[in-house]
Amino acid sequence: MQVRERCVGVDGAERGWFEGCQLPGTSRQLVPVVGDSQPATANPVTAALATIAYRASPWYELETRGGILAENSFDIVVVGAGPGGYVAAIKAAQLGFQTACVEEQFLGGVCLNIGCIPTKALLESAAMISRLGHAKEFGIDVGEVKTDLAQAVKRSREVSDRMTRGIAFLFKKYKVTHIEGRGRLAGKGNLQVTNGGKNQEVKAKHIILATGSRPRDLPFLKVDHDRVWDSTDALLAETLPKTLAIVGAGAIGCEFADVYAAFGTKVTIIEALDRILPLEDKDCSAVVEKSFKKRGMDVFTGARLEKADIGSKGVAISFKTSKGEEKEMKVDRVLSAIGRAPNVEDIGLEDAGVELTDQGFIGIDAQMRTNVEGIYAIGDVAGPPLLAHKGSHEGIACVEAIKGDRHAGVDYENIPNCTYCHPEVASVGLTEEQAKEKGLEIEVGMFPWTANGRALTAGETEGFVKIVRDKKYSEVIGAHIVGPHATELIAEFVVGRHLETTVEEMDRAMHPHPTLSEAVAEASLAALGHPLHI
| Residues designated as active site | 513
Quick check: 83 and 115 in contact, CB under 8 A? no
Query: CA neighbours within 13 Å on the CB side: how many for 115?
Result: 20
Beta strands in 118-239 (DSSP E): 177-180, 182-185, 190-195, 198-209, 213-215, 228-229
Q: Is the peptide bond before 423 cis (omega within 30 degrees of 0)?
A: yes
Cα separation, 514 vs 268, in Å, equals 38
Residue type, position 462, single letter: E
Q: Is the bond into 384 cis (omega within 30 degrees of 0)?
A: no
Q: Give the H/E segment covering residue 398.
A: helix 388-403
Distance CA 215, CA 88 (A): 24
The SS3 of residue 107 is coil
Give the Cβ contact number of residue 23 at 10 Å. 22
Separation of alpha carbons 262 and 333, rounded Å: 16
Whose CA is closest to 101, among 76, 78, 71, 69? 78
**CA distances (Å), origin 185, targets 95, 107, 179, 189, 405:** 24, 20, 15, 8, 26
Whole-angstrom distance, CA of residue 289 vs CA of residue 301: 10
Exposed/middle/buried for 232, CB within 10 Å: 0-12, 13-18, 19+? middle
**Paired sense of beta strands 177-180 and 99-103, if any:** parallel
d(CA 273, CA 449): 28
The Cα–Cα gap between 25 and 9 comes to 19
φ/ψ of residue 304, rounded to 5: -120, 115
Q: Left (φ > 0), alpha (ψ -120 to 50) or beta: where does 299 sit?
A: beta
Q: Using CA of residue 354, residue 355, residue 361, residue 367, what is the dihedral sign?
A: negative
| Cis peptide bond upstream of 514, omega within 30 | yes
Phi and psi at 106, nearest 5°, equal: -145, 145
For residue 201, what is the DSSP state?
E
